């Protein structure tokens, strides 16, 4: 029975709407393949009926082991039409890591790319995307099942990267995601006729949200199967993309390819870039603003659990460089000290947020859910921030990454920003390691364009930082470890005994 207030929100809604409104419009581009809205809707309905016909019931969870390809959108919509819950799997995980998630989530089925099926706990039972999958669709009824789905129920359970202990299953509701789609449309103009690119992996929360938003809102999304700076620029030119979601690492790779990207490809269609995962270091942001002079640059801040929390909009991109902006639509924030008291402007405190985008909690882990939420519904970010007198929020650092050296607090972000200003430094990650004298010593892991002398870095930093903030040692790795969202995994940089 339909409750007062009308129909519930569903992530299948946009596909249904535009299959009627603009059936011939292209929804998804994947290389030479195209999928119209009518085809996307038809294939999603067929998948829904095939899965229900196999014995699955609304509320059952279905794992998906797939990279960025055309089928991702129809599978997500098909599961939603059937009332099934998506459990996205990272193709870079090991078979053991995938087995943990599949068992923990109690998935009833698994859909996998043919080339990845060997990673499944029971490869012979997986629905493989290829001829097996196509046969399944051809044999299924194309009638939309239109099963009722409570908008507050999960559309997916996405697992965190597991930087500490086992990964946790974050339950994200239809309501949360649909409101995110509409807010992104309002923020950077997604809608009918607009074209975007799925750059970040769709198995990750942000990658899915910002790619599928184009489809939900009647636009077109092009699939970038794996990141390559040249391929991305050429795809923007070929498909006339207008808005693109990136993480700072993508910007670094584009810069390494072409200091002036416009000399590599025709980027005249591009009008919006939005960044997430980590704040853009100021020197890199200056390059982005100069390299894309007619493009509005947004910097988002959020998490899998909280969704988007803040946005620094183009009008303030230079004036407030280093900030992540104001709270996003429908979002309340609270910044408090260790004793829970509100902090004054300019004073560091822990950031909490409350919005319709928050998770439903961790699957089968009420203790972890309780540990990060307050009685009145605020969720901690785990980040230390400062808020200026205009309400702009700046991330000081992760609460757990705070370094206490000689009894003094050092926020790694301060040191990383200073290092990023040195010519030749591409990126830096700063961590604390045990030290008998100081409690913790500061260690900088630095990616550089050519070999650097640590003494030169020391001299440079001492002109910009208090002496106790200068690293005690430097490491020069080839790459920095990252999770699927592009965030640096600092736990992997610390000594094993920590």
CATH number of 402-492: 3.30.300.30
**Per-residue pLDDT tens over the stretch 172-191:** 999 999 999 999 999 988 99
Q: What is the mean pLDDT of residues 288-303?
A: 95
Q: What is the mean pLDDT of residues 140-152?
A: 96
- pLDDT for 468 equals 82
- pLDDT for 145 equals 97
- Checking if the pLDDT of 341 tops 50, the result is yes
Strand (E) or helix (H) holding 403:
strand 403-405
- Checking if the pLDDT of 411 tops 80, the result is no
How far is residue 390 CA from its own chain's centroid? 27
For helices 205-216 and 13-21, give the axis angle rounded to 10 degrees: 30
Q: How many other β-carbons are positioned within 10 Å of the β-carbon of residue 107?
A: 21
Kindly list the distances between the CA atom of residue 401 and the CA atoms of 243, 379, 380, 384, 436, in Å, as whole numbers in the listed order.
33, 19, 15, 10, 19
- Checking if the pLDDT of 34 tops 90, the result is yes
Kindly list the distances between the CA atom of residue 412 and the CA atoms of 221, 280, 445, in Å, as whole numbers in the listed order.
37, 15, 11
Band of the pLDDT at 35, cuts 50, 70, 90? very high
**Per-residue pLDDT tens over the stretch 85-118:** 999 998 888 888 899 999 999 999 999 999 999 9
275 or 161: which leads in pLDDT: 275
**Per-residue pLDDT tens over the stretch 221-275:** 999 999 999 999 999 999 999 999 998 888 988 999 999 999 999 999 999 999 9
- pLDDT for 398 equals 73
- pLDDT for 83 equals 98
Burial category of 153 from C-beta neighbours within 10 Å (exposed 0-12, middle 13-18, buried 19 and up): middle
- pLDDT for 361 equals 97
Model confidence, pTM: 0.85
Beta bridge partners of 325: 393
- pLDDT for 482 equals 84
42 phi/psi in degrees, rounded to 5: -60, -50
CATH 3.40.50.2000 given to domain 13-387: no
Of all residues in the chain, what percent carry a pLDDT higher than 90?
A: 74
Band of the pLDDT at 164, cuts 50, 70, 90? very low
- pLDDT for 287 equals 95
Q: What is the mean pLDDT of residues 76-80?
A: 98
- Checking if the pLDDT of 137 tops 80, the result is yes
- Average pLDDT score over the chain: 92
- Checking if the pLDDT of 429 tops 80, the result is yes
**Residue-range domain boundaries for the chain:** 13-387, 402-492
Burial state string for 313-328 with b = 16 or more CB within 10 A and e = fewer than 16? bbebbeebbbbbbbbb
* Chain length of the chain: 498
**Per-residue pLDDT tens over the stretch 196-210:** 999 999 998 889 999
Band of the pLDDT at 156, cuts 50, 70, 90? very high
- pLDDT for 3 equals 56
- pLDDT for 203 equals 92
**Per-residue pLDDT tens over the stretch 374-402:** 999 999 988 889 999 999 999 887 777 87
- pLDDT for 135 equals 97
- pLDDT for 331 equals 98
Band of the pLDDT at 497, cuts 50, 70, 90? very low
User: Is 471:493 a contact under the CB 8 Å cutoff?
Assistant: no
Band of the pLDDT at 163, cuts 50, 70, 90? very low
User: Is 416:281 a contact under the CB 8 Å cutoff?
Assistant: yes
């Amino acid at each position: 029975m339909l409750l007062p207030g009308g129909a519930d929100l569903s992530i299948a809604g946009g596909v249904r709407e535009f299959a009627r409104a603009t059936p011939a419009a292209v929804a998804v581009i994947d290389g030479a393949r195209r999928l119209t809205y009518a085809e996307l809707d038809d294939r999603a309905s067929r998948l829904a009926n095939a899965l229900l016909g196999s014995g699955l019931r609304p509320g059952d969870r279905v794992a998906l082991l797939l990279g960025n390809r055309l089928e991702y959108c129809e599978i997500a919509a098909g599961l939603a039409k059937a009332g099934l819950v998506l459990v996205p799997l990272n193709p870079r995980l090991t078979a053991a890591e995938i087995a943990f998630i599949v068992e923990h989530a109690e998935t009833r089925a698994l859909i996998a790319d043919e080339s990845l099926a060997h990673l499944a706990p029971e490869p012979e039972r997986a629905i493989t995307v290829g001829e097996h999958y196509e046969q399944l669709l051809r044999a299924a009824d194309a009638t939309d099942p239109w099963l009722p789905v409570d908008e507050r129920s999960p559309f997916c359970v996405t697992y965190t990267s597991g930087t500490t202990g086992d990964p946790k299953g974050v339950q994200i509701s239809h309501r949360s995601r649909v409101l995110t789609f509409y807010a992104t449309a309002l923020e950077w103009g997604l809608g009918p006729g607009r074209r975007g690119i799925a750059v970040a992996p769709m198995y990750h929360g942000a990658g899915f949200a910002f790619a599928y938003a184009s489809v939900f809102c009647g636009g077109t999304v092009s699939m970038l199967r794996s990141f390559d700076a040249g391929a991305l620029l050429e795809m923007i030119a070929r498909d006339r993309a207008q808005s693109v979601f990136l993480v700072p690492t993508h910007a670094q790779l584009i810069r390494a390819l072409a200091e002036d990207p416009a000399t590599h490809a025709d980027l005249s269609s591009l009008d919006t870039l939005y960044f997430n995962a980590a704040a853009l270091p100021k020197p890199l942001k200056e390059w982005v603003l100069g390299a894309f002079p007619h493009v509005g640059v947004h910097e988002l801040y959020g998490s899998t659990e909280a969704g988007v929390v803040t946005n620094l909009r183009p009008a303030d991109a230079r004036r407030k460089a280093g900030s992540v902006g104001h709270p996003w639509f429908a979002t309340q924030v609270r910044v408090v000290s260790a004793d829970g008291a509100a902090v004054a402007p300019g004073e560091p405190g822990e950031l909490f947020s409350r919005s319709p985008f928050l998770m439903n909690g961790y699957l089968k882990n009420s203790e972890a859910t309780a540990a990060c939420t307050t009685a009145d519904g605020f969720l901690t970010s785990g980040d230390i921030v400062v808020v200026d007198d205009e309400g702009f929020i700046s991330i000081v650092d992760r609460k757990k990454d705070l370094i206490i050296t000689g009894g003094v607090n050092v926020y790694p972000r301060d040191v990383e920003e200073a290092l990023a200003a040195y010519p030749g430094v591409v990126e830096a990650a700063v961590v604390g390691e045990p030290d008998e004298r100081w409690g913790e010593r500061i260690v900088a892991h630095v990616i550089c364009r050519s070999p650097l002398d640590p003494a030169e870095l020391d001299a440079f930093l001492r002109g910009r930082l208090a002496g106790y903030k200068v690293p005690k040692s430097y490491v020069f790795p080839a790459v920095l470890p990252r999770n699927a969202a592009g965030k640096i995994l600092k736990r992997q940089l610390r000594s094993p005994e920590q």
